[in-house]
């Protein structure tokens, strides 16, 4: 029996930052290779930023160097101002979380940045501490999805074993990391399919728009 539901934030409770970042790079004429070099490697600038291994200024500098090398002109500071403006809420998913309050334990795991920013700004504008019993942020714990430790921290803080939790994310690699620990996983896309799967997994009727 599942006792906890754990949600990603960006791409689940908000629209996808991954898609938005790709569009940002296209709009500014920056090659995909440059974007991938910044965001994909585990030891790359973005991953290190999400673990608070480098500061916002250090990330902005690394971003700018790579973009200039790829022929672009956008600075790291400009990118961060755009990024922190957020990506728009998904009210249908937030309604699901609110509906589950008091019915199961609720957690959030987010790969985020800039630990010195206010909590709501770190979480794309979502008032996560009003929605969830436990919020685990990569920028605060020094681990990021899909590293096993970040899922373990969430389960420990919720007081459940991994096999007692369902985890929702829009990124396949993050789901694979959770599944390796024994968690039930659900892929979120732009449809309501994830809500249907979560309803089945928990055995709790969930709201639809």
Decide if pLDDT at 116 tops 90: no
**pLDDT > 90? residue 124:** no
Asked whether residue 9 falls in the same domain as residue 96, the answer is yes
Q: Return the CA Rg of the chain.
A: 17
Confidence of residue 177 (pLDDT cuts 50, 70, 90): very high
Compute the distance between CA of residue 22 and CA of residue 33 in angstroms, rounded to an integer. 11
Say yes or no: 79 and 12 in one domain: no
Question: For the chain, what is the domain count?
Answer: 2
Contact 53, 46 (CB under 8 A): no
Percent of the chain past pLDDT 90, that is, above it, reads 89
Structure tokens at 199: 């309803």
Examine the domain organization and report whether 43 and 10 are in the same domain. no
| Residue 97's CATH number | 3.40.50.1000
165-169 and 4-7 beta bridge pairing: parallel
Residue 208 lies inside a defined structural domain of this protein:
no
Domain boundary among 30, 65, 83: 83
Structure-token match 């809420």, residue found: 89
Segment 183-198 shows an average pLDDT of 97
Its domain, for residue 68, covers 17-83
Q: What is the mean pLDDT of the chain?
A: 95
Q: Quick check: 117 pLDDT over 90?
A: no
As a whole number, mean pLDDT of residues 5-28 equals: 96
| Residue 25 placed within a domain | yes
CA dihedral 155→101→2→192, nearest 10 degrees, is -110
129 compared with 161, residue with greater pLDDT: 161
Quick one: pLDDT band at residue 156, thresholds 50, 70, 90?
A: very high
* pLDDT value at residue 148: 98
Q: What is the mean pLDDT of residues 12-39?
A: 96
d(CA 84, CA 194): 26
Report the alpha-carbon distance of residue 37 to residue 66 in Å, rounded.
Answer: 8
Q: What residues contact residue 150 under an 8 Å CB cut-off, 6+ apart? A: 109, 136, 138, 141, 143, 144
User: Does position 125 have pLDDT exceeding 80, yes or no?
Assistant: no
pTM to 2 decimals?
A: 0.92
- Residue 209 resides in a domain: no
The residue among 83, 101, 134 that closes a domain is 83
Q: What is the pLDDT of residues 46-100, one digit of tens each?
A: 999 999 999 999 999 999 999 999 999 999 999 999 998 889 999 999 999 999 9
Whether the bond into 146 is cis, omega within 30 of 0: yes
């Amino acid at each position: 029996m599942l006792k906890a539901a754990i949600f990603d934030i960006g791409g689940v409770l908000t629209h996808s930052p991954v898609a938005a970042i790709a569009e940002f790079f296209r709009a500014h004429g920056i090659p995909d290779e440059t974007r991938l070099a910044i965001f994909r490697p585990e030891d790359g600038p973005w991953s290190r930023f999400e673990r608070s291994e480098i500061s916002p200024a250090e990330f902005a500098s690394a971003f700018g160097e790579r973009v200039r090398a790829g022929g672009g002109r956008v600075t790291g500071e400009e990118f961060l101002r755009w990024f922190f403006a957020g990506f728009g809420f998904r009210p249908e998913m937030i309604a699901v979380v609110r509906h589950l309050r008091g019915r199961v334990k609720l957690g959030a795991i987010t790969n985020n940045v800039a630990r010195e920013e206010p909590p709501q700004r770190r979480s794309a504008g979502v008032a996560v501490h009003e929605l969830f019993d436990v919020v685990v942020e990569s920028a605060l714990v020094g681990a990021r999805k899909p590293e096993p430790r970040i899922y373990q921290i969430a389960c420990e803080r919720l007081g459940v074993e991994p096999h007692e939790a369902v985890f929702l994310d829009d990124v396949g690699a993050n789901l694979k990391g959770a599944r390796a620990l024994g968690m039930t996983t659900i892929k979120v896309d732009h449809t309501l399919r994830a809500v249907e799967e979560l309803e089945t997994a928990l055995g709790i009727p969930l709201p639809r728009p």
